[in-house]
Amino acid sequence: MKLPMSKIALIDVDSHNFPNLPLMKFSAYHKTLGDHVEWWNPLETYDIAYVSKVFTFTPDIEYEPRADKIFYGGTGYSLENQLPIDIEYIMPDYSLYPQFSEAYGFLTRGCPRQCKFCIVSEKEGCISKRVANLNEFHTCQRHIKLLDPNLLACNERELLLQHLASSGAWVDFTQGLDIRLLDKDCITLLNKVKTKIVHFAWDNPYEDMIIHVQRFLKHSSIKDFRRRGVYVLTNYNSTHEEDLYRVYTLRQLGFDPYIMVYDKQNAPVLVKQLQRWVNNKCVFMSCPKFEDYDSRKV
């Protein structure tokens, strides 16, 4: 006898500008069981409700959904949350977010860097391990949004880069690539991956990244500086002078800096001004010195 169909509610608390991958997987799983899946309607009653939140600072839903079972997940609630194995490796239900046409997923999890400002090592472990094949979340999409925290730290990185290149899709390494781990062979493979822009990071002001940047410049086929981006972490463990040094150095070397602000809600005005100057590329290119931008109060 066929079991009655369950009614499932999905609640995306904060990822409105970015699809929620766990919810897409829960949706796919329940649809394989013949269940009815929909976005939460506060007026309806459900058998199961899944509430997912990414950021701890995001306001929670105002009231609890009416459901027999309610599951709260995501780093916004706890770092201990893990998807069940049969759901972790299911093809996401991309129909949930018709406004997005890209494929989303992880090839690897974990990072050995253990940066104090980052939750990845605590949540996923200090070793970068391959956790999926590309065809587990990519079908025929022209674009891939790769969510890996440190793909290059994985011992299968060359094989994974080959798979990405063979896909023929445009790849966005959304979390950036660890330029310290890019040797000549990896850069050669990266040249074969279709990318509109490649992002790196210069988080630690006390770490000299110039030798790594120069190695990338020597072997990379990317010649347009606007396609060579570098995240610059501020308001964490650096002075304003150290922030400016990284920005000026990157621009001089032919890289496009992008300011990331730690704890932006409580950041000083000077840090926010620096972010506006650097990240507004029209202003950044027309006003070479931050001192001039600051004095004009643009």
pLDDT in tens, 4-42: 589 999 999 987 788 999 999 999 999 999 999 999 999
Among 34-48, 114-128, 188-202, 239-253, the least confident range: 114-128
**Cα within 13 Å of Cα(116), Cβ side:** 3
Q: How confident is the model at residue 3 (pLDDT cuts 50, 70, 90)?
A: low
Q: Say whether pLDDT at 242 is over 50.
A: yes
Pairing of strands 198-202, 228-234: parallel
Band (pLDDT 50/70/90 cuts) for residue 256 is very high
Residues 6+ apart with CB under 8 A from 29: 86, 87, 90
CB within 8 Å of 285: residues ≥ 6 apart: none
State residue 38's pLDDT score: 96
Confidence at residue 31, expressed as pLDDT on a 0 to 100 scale: 95
Query: pLDDT-derived band of residue 1, with 50, 70 and 90 as boundaries?
Result: very low
Structure-token pair, residue 211? 């030798």
Alpha-carbon gap, residue 99 to 37, rounded angstroms: 18
Alpha-carbon separation of residue 104 from 20, 64, 78, 283 (angstroms): 9, 29, 22, 33
Q: Find the mean pLDDT for residues 225-232.
A: 95
pTM of the model: 0.90
User: Would you state the pLDDT for residue 109?
Assistant: 95
HSE at residue 4, side-chain half, CA atoms within 13 A, is 4
Tens-digit pLDDT profile for residues 106-141: 999 999 999 988 888 888 899 999 999 999 999 999
8-state DSSP, 194: B
- On the question of pLDDT at 249 being above 90, the answer is yes
End-to-end CA distance of the chain: 69
Q: What is the pLDDT of residues 42-54, one digit of tens each?
A: 999 999 999 998 8
Q: Are 145 and 106 in contact (CB under 8 A)?
A: no
% of residues, the chain, pLDDT over 90: 81
Per-residue pLDDT at 297 exceeds 70:
no
DSSP code, position 43: T
Alpha-carbon distance of 161 to 190, in angstroms, equals 7
Q: What is the pLDDT of residues 57-100, one digit of tens each?
A: 888 888 899 999 999 998 888 877 788 888 999 999 999 999 99
Q: Which long-range contacts (CB under 8 A, 24 or more apart) does 183-186 make?
A: 183/215, 184/215, 184/219, 185/158, 186/152, 186/157, 186/158, 186/161
Task: Pick the closest to residue 201 from 237, 223, 183, 176 (CA basis).
Answer: 176
pLDDT at 295 over 70: no
Tens of pLDDT, residues 167-177:
999 999 999 99
